[in-house]
Amino acid sequence: GAPDKESVGRLSMSFGDRVATTSQPLVRRLLRLMEEKRTNLCVAADLGTARDVLQLADKVGPHICLLKTHVDSISDFTAEFPKQLTELAERHNFLICEDRKYGDIGSTSADQYSSGLFSVSSWAHLVTVHALPGDGQLTALSDRAAGAERGALLVAEMSSKGCLVQPAYTAAVVKMAEAHPYFACGFIAQSSVSSDPRFLVLTPGVSLVSTADGHGQQYSSPERAVGERGADVVIVGRGVTRAEDPAAAAREYAQRAFSAYLQRLK
Amino acid sequence: GAPDKESVGRLSMSFGDRVATTSQPLVRRLLRLMEEKRTNLCVAADLGTARDVLQLADKVGPHICLLKTHVDSISDFTAEFPKQLTELAERHNFLICEDRKYGDIGSTSADQYSSGLFSVSSWAHLVTVHALPGDGQLTALSDRAAGAERGALLVAEMSSKGCLVQPAYTAAVVKMAEAHPYFACGFIAQSSVSSDPRFLVLTPGVSLVSTADGHGQQYSSPERAVGERGADVVIVGRGVTRAEDPAAAAREYAQRAFSAYLQRLK
């Protein structure tokens, strides 16, 4: 980013004030939503049936800015699912991120994005993308978005044990986003990979219970993620989906993450 | 690999002789198939409907060792599709690789692999995996394969323009495969990333017509891929799928790739 952007950096600006720093429509919409709804919580709806995901979305909807899906883990997907999810997103005022982690050449990822049974581009405001294959995916996905309010989050860091992401890789991902701000909306990361206020930093693996899952996932608290490590949005999965009362858990995560954000502005 | 394995390396050994170097059932099966059927051609069935993929598989089946799919680009997928594809694979004696490029934490990729509408683990002998998130995916996918003859190809290099893969990354991918030989069957790569005869090297972007696709894909001939760059298997997409006669095109690619392989042994 330009020096003047750096001096008034992402971490010290309110979500509302950051709206004016970008012309990317989806980032503007999400920043406004976060400011007005007072939530920077994304719930990872990692459940195996359409009914369970929709029920969860209805429960946690009032507390979240974003719902993150893995549509290819839903055993009974039909075209009804994105339709109903979109209705819930409109009713509760949240956006949808399909966490597909596209990682192919542009033309292939574009087909996976805009066609096939899932037709992801027709309903997912955001998708996650691995920068590894180069920036061909960003131009190709953006083409297929065809003017709709769409965007991508680039995976800049990962929380899993033994991951191969190195600082030089992360720097290249950030540079790629800076070269494609019309579609790149931010990063999936574990730390403040960019101080550019145009980009959102989302941190997965956030939980109040620090545990490992046996397959290399590592956890961090909302305060640590937002206050110490510089996340704008915390992504909470099992901490909400496995709670006895997912709505109450989402409310608590949202309050703690938003408090940590307000604290950061001081 | 051990020094004795290096001295009698992958490039100078026949597919048949390499069977004895590994206990991975799927690699053994594929090497035998390639030797007996005299083909090291994989066709990338990048078509948008089940009917088109199945028709293509039926036409090119006699000439290939492997058919590569992108199941999430098929607009009319039903559970009938993998069933019929499996029948064709058995009839024509080829294996199936779902080119999903898994790139998430282990538990998520495992759900995407073994559940959801596609139930990939139930029909795809091979899947492609990005090593970026660490090796948690390999243990998790292997768990879900539940003893079936399954395996993964790790993406060690990519052919797309501006890709972020560096030599140190490729070296780490190879090391990861060496640590997980019970599930890692080889690599998607553009060069001879390993001389270990247990691992297959598959090279995409192979074509007799050298063109770019406008989204960063770059092409190489079968002779160059196998003879100069060390591929075991060439992956051909548009060169076959867009040919007037896909069966004839597949036959030609297979002959040229297998001749280049025989030439390499001399």
pLDDT value, residue B202:
98
Q: Which of B104, B111, B232, B245 is catalytic?
A: B104
- Note whether B209 contacts A: Cβ–Cβ < 8 A: no
pTM of the predicted structure, to 2 decimals: 0.95
Q: How far is B250 from chain A (nearest CA, A)?
A: 21
The pLDDT tens digits of the residues spanning A66-118 come to 999 999 999 999 999 999 999 999 999 999 999 999 999 999 999 999 999 99
pLDDT at A220 over 90: no
The pLDDT tens digits of the residues spanning B2-25 come to 434 444 699 999 999 999 999 999
| A265, amino acid identity | L
B213 is catalytic: no
Dihedrals φ, ψ of B184, to 5°? -75, 120
Question: A165: nearest CA in chain B?
Answer: B132
Give the pairing of strands A233-236 and B41-44: unpaired
Rg (CA), chain A: 17
CB contact under 8 A, A115 and B75: yes
- Note whether A121 contacts B: Cβ–Cβ < 8 A: no
CB contact under 8 A, B163 and A132: yes
Interface list for A 45-84 with B (CB within 8 A): 46, 48, 70-77
Residue from the list A115, A132, A165 with its beta carbon closest to the beta carbon of B73:
A115
Q: Which of A5, A52, A58, A101 is catalytic?
A: A101
Prediction ipTM score: 0.94
Q: Which residues sit opposite A98 in a β-bridge?
A: A69, A127
The pLDDT tens digits of the residues spanning A172-185 come to 999 999 999 999 99
Question: A113: nearest CA in chain B?
Answer: B73
A37 is catalytic: no
Chain A interface, best mutation among B97, B117, B143, B157, by max A CB count within 10 A: B117
